[in-house]
Structure 1
């Protein structure tokens, strides 16, 4: 990855033309989306966009693979609260970037994929890299194709609407190669959707006083309904999700609102899948984090709740996995709610604000005991006694060492895999720490996300925790970090297997090989080839000093941890091979 900074016109260089499709797209990125960097694998089909990006003040971040570019842009969107933007070349680039689109749908994130398309009139069957992008991406996300310069303003407006919708999400903008330099009517931006998701009301788009009034009524009604249920519930639980961060914006702290509401209403707070940093994990009302690897004790206690308020998320299979009681009531507050129970269509952030400032009566003793029981359970689950293993290090050793030493403002990125179960269980995230992970379970996010975070926040410690499988999917983006001179720390859990699938394999096909074994290179030498200091950890006593060295290194670091495959998950072991 290289980052090309804006620069002045060289002496004797003619001033660039204005008013082309290229200039209007760049104006849209800077003025409407407040975008300051463009992740890309360069291609000839959108070369004018790259060649003139500096005129608009955009930094070009050149990445080694479109999947890495997509994951990096997605992580940057999470950190800034703005849309992440990447640009790729024709159908191969779009296909490679599709994994990031899928991830942005599963965990709503505004992501704009700009595709330099084949020339207009090109036959998709015989043209070079001319596969119909709408045909193969349209089932994942909205695809907006510009076939005439006169359509550009409407196309950009539609992109803005998707990115700033109450449930923000990804969108694809396709601009044919032969259209970039055509003249385009200069848009003023007045017709484009303004503001951020916080300004939206209900499922409506802003721009009308009538719609705003309707949205406010929906929000007040939702807050009143939640309050009504909470006043009569004996064992309520609040499940807080992703959209609380979207509405509040990147600089606001949804955790402060959550803590105020939970304290006033005497309410335990569970955090939605991969949203563990929404609330200070040391807070008295923090009850845990619901994800694929949540401990059974957490699921069992959730089943005892008589009321579950889902705020800014949906009650999906992961959140509600496990037992439930027959009389458990579920209320979902979401701009587009789905799932079981009662649906309250409203933006979650203003509802949370109203609930946080509302007066609440003193909770009865039973309710206080209910909250205290949650806190005691969560505290107990974090107590760890790592076990000696014959086949490698128990990853609980690594998670607890990392949790002790992680700086207060650190950014932690996670790839997908069973190793993340130790991170979620044993690391308590503070108010200033960020977690970047994907609720959809896509592998390959960890390293590109860490690289994007290191570029966005060069003053903060960035740590990626990845498995040996995910590392070799997108770990080549360490070349990107090297080119920029800003390396993250990387901790690799290497058990020589696709561990998550190995656990499924042990249950469904015991004794059979389902292709889960991995043959890995020497990861220390591999990291050193990128200029990254590295060391191997093969015994428990080596863990804590190695983690300390990794976090102290200003030039990045890689810890190659030989982890136990027997200890495949924080909550269970694989059956003994003996």
Structure 2
């Protein structure tokens, strides 16, 4: 308000200042599990209920996953609010997801009264120490007068450079303290653009290449940025892969799409990537999943790498690039699109080779049993709306839709690059809250479903209707796979006993289906969507089919052969005795696959 042209700032309690600070930063949604440590903030949000939708969740990890999905879809910091101690500890996994996924996020944590600090008060935690390795910045507000300043900075940090999570602890009595300070809105900051010589240097390198490969990854992409990078890649007829769980960055049906270079990547794509003579890492950090455990390329730069990233500290962190470009990804994409494309690129045949390898990988193999999962998912892909939002949990099941389905332009794909189980269902609810008019489909295993599946109650409470596909094989599939490879037949700790998942969601008032045959998935999906309710489709899969490429029996046979080979090697004569006599040729007959 003003008085004679002068700004007059009224006294406000800290709880109201915090709520008003969120409004000043443009926050429209906040995801929470309520706690007594931030009652005053809750009251402040009541006063702003027409401007900020407060989404009440059932578990702190679920709340942060929903906020993280909001951040991925909007590019704005998602906001989660949790209570102190156990609430903050539960929330930590979502902070880790946001950190490794480069998603802007602000987590607000209620805190003990600051006068009780270092007494090990009830639920006391030093959040600066706890979240230091998981967040971009951690702070605590103990003075109400500093709320606008510190909250504005928290949002700035979450959005800037490589986006990520910020944690703000708010002490209890500070929320009741009053102060007369103005609100602070977001600063208008122009994004960093590539240096003038950056794109020309990249194009010079591209003109000398015979087998280039572009890999898209990272966070902070806008729809305009994705369109610009698509135009650049297609204009130069480049083969394009996406990094781990970044399928939404490029149209999977494009003739230039070569697949996903992450966990469970197609062996043919990995082999081709090792052949490339120019690696364009656009947005990706070149981390462990993309680099196939840091084995894909020579770290010293034998294969020229062009790495584009918002954060200069990420460029060359592991792999030494021939050219590093520090830039906002969307600004880089616009600059790259404006560059004259390479005329008559010599790699047209190479691009078609990589696409052929992707198409071969996506062919549904012949498998026994009534539910052919690959064929069922491919039929489902054709039935999905063009603006579908996919969310995925972590686990072996997730490789089925990744391998056999394609995310098209106009669709979005949200998944945890840190491999967090329990992400899929809350992320689907968060996505549906952001876009209630779009179809949201969640892929989750039976293990992940019972980690955060109770969050489906939040969907009912806030009238959104995601459709959850539960892949039920009655086990922690990824761990069982590794177990069978290392200790074949010695099943320990990986078997599960599950409920009837369809009846589970029906108990909330939702729509439940069970699918056990290939042809039943699409009709079940159509009924689920027509119901207009939160829905769950349980896919009862064959436990023997442990991955989309192997059965348990095949893994055990491979382990047996490996053990025999190790035993033979251990029994082999010494090099001196080998030199003394000529070895007999070893003949092996091929075994059926």
Q: TM-score, normalised by structure 2?
A: 0.86
> C-alpha separation between the residues in 2 aligned to 1:259 and 1:99?
33
- For residues 408 and 221 of structure 2, what CA distance do their matches in structure 1 show? 21
Moved more, 271-280 or 534-543: 534-543
Structure 2 CA distance for aligned equivalents of residues 511 and 182 of structure 1: 63
Shift of 1:49: 1.2
Equivalent of 1:170 in 159, 165, 172: 165
The match for 2:44 is 52
Query: C-alpha deviations, 1:181-223, integer Å up to 9, x for none?
Result: 2123423527x5434xxx332xxxxxxxxxxxxxx4x533332
Deviations 1:108-163 (A, max 9, x none): 01111101100112144441111222222223222111122343344224312311
Distance (Å, rounded) in 1 between the aligned partners of 2:401 and 2:225: 22
Q: 1:552 aligns with which of 526, 530, 551?
A: 530
Q: Distance in 2 between matches of 1:67 and 1:513?
A: 30
Whole-angstrom distance in 2 between the partners of 1:346 and 1:498 = 41
Kindly indicate whether residue 390 of structure 2 is the aligned counterpart of residue 399 of structure 1: no
| Residue aligning to 2:548 | 570
Larger Rg: 2
Aligned to 1:77: 71
Please tell me whether the aligned partners of residues 373 and 518 of structure 2 are also in contact (alpha carbons under 8 angstroms). no
List aligned pairs for 1:228-247, cutoff 5 A.
228-243=204-219, 246-247=220-221
Local SS of the residue matching 2:502:
helix
Name the counterpart of 1:335. Answer: 310
Match of 2:128 among 129, 134, 139: 134
Q: Which of residues 350, 369, 383 in structure 2 aligns to 1:370?
A: 350
Q: Deviations over 1:343-389 (max 9, x none)?
A: 3333332222111111123224x411111212222222222134113
Query: Structure 1 residue 520: deviation in Å?
Result: 0.9
Query: Once structures 1 and 2 are overlaid, which stretch shifts more, 306-315 or 379-388?
Result: 379-388
Map residues 204-223 of structure 1 onto 2, 5 A cutoff.
216=193, 218-223=194-199
List aligned pairs for 1:26-65, cutoff 5 A.
Answer: 26-32=19-25, 34-56=26-48, 57-65=51-59
**Counterpart residue number, 1:200:** 191
- In structure 1, the partner of 2:288 is 317
**How many residue pairs align between the two structures?**
534
Tell me what 2:479 maps to: 501
- TM value normalised by structure 1: 0.88
Measure the CA separation in 2 of the matches of 1:233 and 1:404: 37
Separation of aligned partners in 2, 1:188 and 1:286: 47
Deviation at 1:526, TM superposition (A): 1.3
1:466/1:493 contact within 8 Å kept = yes
1:333 aligns to what SS in structure 2?
strand
Aligned to 2:81: 87
Offset at residue 247 of structure 1 (A): 4.9
Question: Is the deviation greater in 42-51 or in 342-351?
Answer: 342-351
Once the two structures are TM-superposed, the CA of residue 291 in structure 1 deviates from its matched residue by: 2.0
User: Match for residue 110 of structure 1?
Assistant: 104
The verdict on how the C-alpha distance between 1:114 and 1:162 changes in structure 2, with shifts beyond 3 A counting, is same
Work out whether residues 395 and 564 of structure 1, in 8 Å CA contact, stay in contact via their aligned partners in 2.
no
Does structure 1 conserve the Cα–Cα contact (< 8 Å) formed by 2:17 and 2:144?
A: no
The 3 A distance-change label for structure 1 pair 123 and 30 is closer
1:355 & 1:253 partners in 2: Cα distance? 13
1:156 corresponds to which residue?
151
Task: List per-residue Cα deviations over 1:381-422 (Å, max 9, x = no partner).
Answer: 222134113xx7343243223212111111111111111111
Going from structure 1 to structure 2, the CA distance change for 1:350 and 1:486 (only over 3 Å counts) comes to: closer
Please tell me whether the aligned partners of residues 243 and 262 of structure 2 are also in contact (alpha carbons under 8 angstroms): yes
Is 1:147 matched up with 2:142?
yes
2:479 is the counterpart of 1:488: no
Give, in whole Å, the separation in 2 of the partners of 1:18 and 1:397.
64
Partner Cα distance (2:278, 2:112) in 1: 54
Match of 1:351 in 2: 332
> SS where residue 253 of structure 1 aligns?
helix
Cα shift at 1:261: 0.5
Q: Does the aligned pair in 2 maintain the 1:394–1:564 contact within 8 Å?
A: no
Structure 2: runs of 5+ lacking an equivalent: 1-9, 558-593
SS in 1 for 2:419: coil
Q: SS in structure 2 opposite 1:497?
A: coil
Residue 479 (str. 1) matches residue 460 (str. 2): no
Q: 8 Å contact 1:266–1:363 — kept in the other structure?
A: no
1:280 aligns with 2:259: no
Instruction: Choose from 192, 201, 207 the match for 1:225.
Output: 201
Runs of 5+ consecutive residues of structure 1 not aligned to the other structure: 1-16, 202-215
Equivalents in 2 of 1:557, 1:351: separation in Å? 40
Contact 1:331–1:341 (Cα < 8 Å) also in 2:
no
Aligned positions of 1:248-263 closer than 5 A:
248=222, 252-263=223-234
CA positional deviation for 1:324: 4.3
2:178 counterpart residue number = 183
Contact 2:61–2:92 at 8 Å: present in 1 too?
A: yes
Give the structure 1 partner of residue 583 of structure 2.
none
